[in-house]
Amino acid sequence: ARDKTGVMSLNSTAFSHPSYFLLVGIPGLEKHQFWIAFPFCLMYAIAVLGNTTLLLIIKTEPSLHEPMYLFLAMLAFTDLVLSTSTLPKMLGIFWMGSEEIAFPSCLAQMFFIHAFTSVESGVLTAMALDRYIAICHPLRHSSILSVPAVVGFGSVVLVRGVLLVSPVCFLLHRMSFCQHHVISHSYCEHMAVVKLACGNTRASYIYGLFVAFSVLGFDIILISASYTVILRVVMRLSSTEAQLKSFSTCASHLCATLTFYVPALFTFLTHRFGHSIPPTVHIIVANLYLIVPPMLNPIVYGVRTKKLWEGVALL
């Protein structure tokens, strides 16, 4: 709400933050957002259809209740949460000019985006460890990665995301935003909101760095270590055919990993250090980062996995 002078009213209890924020969409492309929304809507539809289909196939086909496919089901669920937490609101901005987002809704969106980004990173790490055990210790694969172990790992990854991201929202809720309420972004990204605060933001800034490095940094190191060992083991195989077969089992996961981490790291580094990057480029990449992996993952895994095609035929 605004008073007679047009100044945005603050939260009447704390007088520390606006009752709502305004999301501008893609800075510099406001006049073209109506048309930009169409490919985004198509990608979202593919993501929802593809990931929902994956979940149905894995749920209904008992032969797919193996570690690789259980992790894939976790990835599909995470992708649905990530894309759905941002795309409907983003399309509302692009098509209907629905720029307002209530302060609690903004914090909720931020929580789901960052918590499930952490979950996705954890699931990709688990899938890398699954490939490592399958190739380097094939005889012990089923005993190490039993169904309870897979479920337990998924639970740990989820709890990690919730526990690490919750303080981010708590710190922002306690900040003062004065009259700053226009977010130069298409969704409530952590640093985009922090930059609007008037006052000492050091704690939020440092904690955000801690979460990013402890999640992305730790997971990237584990994935890199897994594939380093996998590469050494595969290169020792005597036959070229065996080498290619081993590499092919990792190809889908490598594609999923690259499409997730490359834009994620670009977005993270640009917010903090890439001041020379045009805002339009930054926001477009940040938007694609939350929709391209959810769209591509079911396609990549579906095309390369024969069992999933057989599951589609049984639906």
Q: Which residue has the higher pLDDT, 82 or 306?
A: 82
pLDDT in tens, 110-141: 999 999 999 999 999 999 999 899 888 888 88
Per-residue pLDDT at 205: 86
157 by Cβ neighbours in 10 Å (0-12 / 13-18 / 19+) ranks as: buried
Contact 44, 83 (CB under 8 A): yes
Instruction: Give me the pLDDT at residue 5, please.
Output: 39
Q: How far apart are CA 290 and CA 284, in angstroms?
A: 10
**Torsion-angle region of 26 (φ positive above 0: left; ψ -120 to 50: alpha; else: beta):** beta
CATH class entry, domain 20-313: mainly alpha
pLDDT value for 2: 44
pLDDT tens for each residue of 224-248: 999 999 888 888 877 777 778 777 7
Supply the pLDDT for residue 6.
Answer: 38
Residue found under tokens 């080498």 = 243
Mean predicted confidence (pLDDT) in 45-50: 94
Domain ranges in the chain are: 20-313
- Rounded to two decimals, the pTM is 0.87
pLDDT tens per residue, range 56-109: 888 888 878 888 889 999 999 999 999 999 999 999 999 998 889 999 999 999
Rg (CA), the chain: 21
**Among the listed ranges 161-175, 179-193, 218-232, which one has the minimum average pLDDT value?**
179-193
Nearest Cα to 268, choosing from 291, 292, 293, 285? 285
